[in-house]
Chain A
Amino acid sequence: MSEIQIEIDGKELKATEGMTVLEAAQCAGIYIPTLCHHEKLEPFGGCRVCIVEVEANGWTKLVVSCVYPVEENIVVRTRSEKVDRIRKTIIELLMAHAPDSPQLQDLAQEYGADKDRFEKDASFCIHCGLCVRYCAEVVKKNAIGFVDRGINKEISFIPEIAAKECNDCKECFPLCPTSYLQAAFVLTEALAFPPPSSEPVSEE
């Protein structure tokens, strides 16, 4: 892997080929906000708050830093008027779902986002997919997945798997930016977990 020279927010730094802009920034201690990123997971590119401005070969474009690979001599700006405006809108859109999420509240303060700008759809889930992807990629149990599409998309535990796997794991719980995941789990447990086996548990 060869070394690549890039510039982020005026800082000259070295990155490794194959890295994303976000990884390069994080290595250099430069902060870019994220909601759906997790270092153990494949880049997803869903929340789009990590959007940055990249200048390459005289062209400036907006790219999503968690999936955009570093290239020789690119100049990255992690904040600009446009970047901030887009981040603000994204945060406002998500706060229509989860106005009380601490992570969103912090971001809202930073970007001056108004949590009441859009009509509320209090689903509490922001579809970052951290739980779904963590269970699939790290735990490899697929106890939770997305169902349906678009605005009807939601997370759903698969009761048959979740009943077996989740009680001893729950590693995804702290990842959820809104605590909706815990609620969904409790709901699934109460409503859909298969009834405990009627046969007495054998003692070994």
Chain B
Amino acid sequence: MSQINSPAELEEFRKGILSKRDPNKPCISICAGAGCIASGADEVIEAFKAQIEKEGLTAKVDTKGTGCPGFCERGPVVVIYPEEICYLEVTAEDVPEIVLQTIKENKVVDRLLFVDPVTGEKAIHESDISFYKNQERNVLCNNIKIDSKSIDDYLAIGGYSALAKALSQMTDLKVLEEVKKSNLRGRGGAGFPAGRKWEGSRNAPEPIKYVIVNADEGDPGAFMDRALLEGNPHSILEGLIIGAYAIGSHEGYFYVRQEYPLAVENINRAIKQAQEYGLLGENILGSGFDFKVFVHQGAGAFVCGESTALMASLEGRVGEPRPKYTRSNIKGLWQRPSVLNNVETWANVPLIINKGADWFTQIGTESSKGTKIFSLVGKITNTGLVEVPMGMSLRDIIYKIGGGIPNGKKFKAVQTGGPSGGCIPQDQLGLQVGFDELTKAGSMMGSGGMIVLDEDTCMVDVARYFINFLTEESCGKCVPCREGLRQMHRILTNITKGKGKESDIELLEELSETAVEASLCALGKSAPNPFLSTLRYFRDEYEAHIKEKRCPALSCKDLISYYIDPDKCTACMICARKCPADAIDGGKKKIHIIDQEKCTNCGTCFEVCPSKFNAVTKISGETVPSPISEEKRIITKKSPRKSK
């Protein structure tokens, strides 16, 4: 491949790619993101290739593994173009039927379509699926259209046109002004305006400056950055080069977590391809602008997502934050001005340059512009990545896109913002998602984690879980975080075990204040959020645990008991056989009784008791009724039982 030396040559080259492609030629796109691969997408891709070859259709049909379209719950996802027919949960066994029916005979395979859980209607096209229909996918939309391994695919959808535009039609200052005007705020957590961050670095006197992609996504349950890194790496790279041009940087870094091997592979490939095409390196597109990029793999520390810890780690030092009274865009990596933005922030830059800041600011709320990708997980029907305009209500995200809570359970709260975010209750579901709106509600945007919790979730236990995560991920440098979280975790654990004391809430509040006010970095400063927000909205649950030794959600193992209702038990022996602790006494025609001394509260009996009997119940905060007398336990035909 000879290098592309000017924007005009790039357009020529793009035309060349497009001229060889027929938009009406059938193309089978199979998601090859980590989620679908885990569900067997690799075999599906191979099966399609083999089947297409077997049928002699290789010249007539394209097959490609693409980036993640987000509907991970129902993967592997297959979309067949040009009709955009979408099949879900496809296995290799389905492949011959799809090729025969859809490719050869133009018929739809009914059983693989999405069925709306509410209306029962089937959706043929991707855009008809309720999960997708209510999204606004500006950043994620290309994932399913391109093979992430192919730079030509990215060029075919207009890739690098924003870079060409920036380099040939805009001054570096104009690029900065456009990003500032767009009011693009950082998608990684704090929501700092990207343009202002860039401007600080640009104006800093030090001539050597850096641009860095924060791809150290570590929030439990969050995977939006991974989807972009794996699925559309060039879009991030393009944004990074544009940012470097705007601030006058000639060296950039991708800090990618090691646990994302596919992302590391795809980013490295993308960089190599861009270099070969002359889109990276010296004199990019003949503009005179030079820029090179390096990939650095993080070693698995959550705290390295924090800017100063990330930079320390990049320098080869221990990944611990440093006091940030001088911002890292002025004194960052190797004490030089460094712009660090999150993956999703960089991926928004080409869109802003191509479509303009005015287009971008049309979307969103007063203070939060554009779209945001959330990873919608937990007790939700449609798990996956969703991209919505800022300002959409939590209710719409959870019910219209997410399809509500499965198994007929009630919604309890949604946890947003990652481990140091907070929980938002039912009565605030009308809240519009945006940086300031979520913060005001006691949570935060964070990088876009959204974990839905149902009525069976104990909010004290949720706080304990996240505080435990943060305790383990604290770097240990400062006392309020290292020691404060250790004690908070200990106290919360005691409360969930029924060993809470009346003074515990006050003590937790004091430890929270110390962590918020005195911690060195944002991890410690925001770490008490899981406790503070659950206390704010679910104080009654804390009090029930402490005062009544009762877990209202019937979830804390140490506070519940299992009990077999003698009126409902039919002595079927199922629970007795399955009990791993041998704690159930009973036999044929003899009503079962749980020996509370032996019972380990594992819940097996509760799960296996047939729903037509529903004899096992969970109780908390009350004493287990004493067992009925031996003679009453014998079931005779004449017993007045509530038989069906």
Residues of B with C-beta under 8 A to A43:
323
Contact for B478 among A46, A89, A97, A146, CB less than 8 A: A46
In the bound complex, do residue B323 and residue A86 qualify as a contact, i.e. CB atoms below 8 Å apart?
no
Q: What is the 8 Å Cβ interface bit string for chain A, positions 43-58, against chain B (1 contact, 0 not)?
A: 1111111010000000
Contact for B473 among A69, A148, A150, CB less than 8 A: A150
In the bound complex, do residue B477 and residue A121 qualify as a contact, i.e. CB atoms below 8 Å apart?
no
Give the CA-CA distance A126 to B519 in the complex, in Å.
16
Residues of A with C-beta under 8 A to B518:
48, 51, 62, 64, 86, 90
In the bound complex, do residue A46 and residue B479 qualify as a contact, i.e. CB atoms below 8 Å apart?
yes
In the bound complex, do residue B325 and residue A67 qualify as a contact, i.e. CB atoms below 8 Å apart?
yes
Taking A151-B471, A151-B486 as contacts, is the C-beta distance between A45 and B478 under 8 angstroms?
Answer: yes
CB under 8 Å from chain B, chain A span 63-96: 63-64, 67-69, 82, 85-86, 89-90, 93-94, 96
Contact for A46 among B477, B510, B511, CB less than 8 A: B477
B570 at the interface (CB under 8 A from A): no
In the bound complex, do residue A45 and residue B475 qualify as a contact, i.e. CB atoms below 8 Å apart?
no
B347 at the interface (CB under 8 A from A): no
In the bound complex, do residue A89 and residue B476 qualify as a contact, i.e. CB atoms below 8 Å apart?
no
In the bound complex, do residue B514 and residue A89 qualify as a contact, i.e. CB atoms below 8 Å apart?
yes
Residues of B with C-beta under 8 A to A31:
none
B487 at the interface (CB under 8 A from A): yes
Q: What is the 8 Å Cβ interface bit string for chain A, positions 112-156, against chain B (1 contact, 0 not)?
A: 000000110100001100000000000000000010111111000
B46 CB to nearest A CB, Å: 42
B632 at the interface (CB under 8 A from A): no
Give the CA-CA distance A82 to B517 in the complex, in Å.
10
Give the CA-CA distance A86 to B518 in the complex, in Å.
8
Contact for B325 among A48, A69, A82, CB less than 8 A: A69
Contact for B520 among A45, A82, A126, CB less than 8 A: A45
Residues of B with C-beta under 8 A to A68:
323, 325
Give the CA-CA distance A152 to B475 in the complex, in Å.
10
B472 at the interface (CB under 8 A from A): yes
In the bound complex, do residue A149 and residue B487 qualify as a contact, i.e. CB atoms below 8 Å apart?
no
B484 at the interface (CB under 8 A from A): yes
CB under 8 Å from chain A, chain B span 434-479: 471-479
In the bound complex, do residue B483 and residue A96 qualify as a contact, i.e. CB atoms below 8 Å apart?
yes
B513 at the interface (CB under 8 A from A): yes
Residues of B with C-beta under 8 A to A46:
477-479, 520
B482 at the interface (CB under 8 A from A): yes
Give the CA-CA distance A63 to B508 in the complex, in Å.
22
Contact for B476 among A44, A51, A153, CB less than 8 A: A153
In the bound complex, do residue A150 and residue B472 qualify as a contact, i.e. CB atoms below 8 Å apart?
yes
Contact for A86 among B472, B474, B514, CB less than 8 A: B514
Q: What is the 8 Å Cβ interface bit string for chain B, positions 525-549, against chain A (1 contact, 0 not)?
A: 0000000000000000000000000
B641 at the interface (CB under 8 A from A): no
In the bound complex, do residue B323 and residue A150 qualify as a contact, i.e. CB atoms below 8 Å apart?
no
Residues of A with C-beta under 8 A to B514:
86, 89-90, 93
Residues of A with C-beta under 8 A to B325:
63, 67-69
In the bound complex, do residue A89 and residue B511 qualify as a contact, i.e. CB atoms below 8 Å apart?
yes
In the bound complex, do residue B475 and residue A48 qualify as a contact, i.e. CB atoms below 8 Å apart?
no
Give the CA-CA distance A43 to B324 in the complex, in Å.
12
Residues of B with C-beta under 8 A to A126:
479
**Nearest A residue (CB) for B521:** A45
In the bound complex, do residue B520 and residue A93 qualify as a contact, i.e. CB atoms below 8 Å apart?
no
Give the CA-CA distance A90 to B326 in the complex, in Å.
25
In the bound complex, do residue A48 and residue B487 qualify as a contact, i.e. CB atoms below 8 Å apart?
no
B575 at the interface (CB under 8 A from A): no
Give the CA-CA distance A46 to B521 in the complex, in Å.
11
B398 CB to nearest A CB, Å: 34
B98 at the interface (CB under 8 A from A): no
Residue of B301, B322, B519 with most chain A CB atoms under a 10 A cut-off: B322
In the bound complex, do residue A85 and residue B476 qualify as a contact, i.e. CB atoms below 8 Å apart?
no
Q: What is the 8 Å Cβ interface bit string for chain A, positions 13-57, against chain B (1 contact, 0 not)?
A: 000000000000000000000000000000111111101000000
In the bound complex, do residue A93 and residue B479 qualify as a contact, i.e. CB atoms below 8 Å apart?
yes
In the bound complex, do residue B511 and residue A150 qualify as a contact, i.e. CB atoms below 8 Å apart?
no
Residues of B with C-beta under 8 A to A150:
471-476, 482
In the bound complex, do residue A90 and residue B479 qualify as a contact, i.e. CB atoms below 8 Å apart?
yes
Contact for A64 among B323, B473, B486, B511, CB less than 8 A: B323
Residues of B with C-beta under 8 A to A48:
478-480, 518-520
B51 CB to nearest A CB, Å: 50
B490 at the interface (CB under 8 A from A): yes
Residues of A with C-beta under 8 A to B486:
121, 151
Residue of A62, A149, A152 with most chain B CB atoms under a 10 A cut-off: A149
Q: Using a CB–CB distance below 8 Å, which chain A residues touch chain B?
A: 43-49, 51, 62-64, 67-69, 82, 85-86, 89-90, 93-94, 96-97, 118-119, 121, 126-127, 146, 148-153
Additional 17 contacts, C-beta under 8 A, given A67-B325, A89-B480, A93-B484: A46-B477, A47-B478, A48-B478, A62-B517, A64-B520, A86-B514, A89-B511, A89-B514, A93-B479, A94-B483, A118-B487, A127-B476, A127-B477, A146-B318, A149-B475, A149-B476, A150-B482
Selected A-B contacts with CB under 8 Å, 6 pairs: A43-B323, A48-B478, A68-B323, A89-B514, A119-B490, A150-B471
CB-based closest 7 A-B pairs: A153-B476, A93-B483, A67-B323, A150-B474, A150-B476, A89-B514, A45-B323
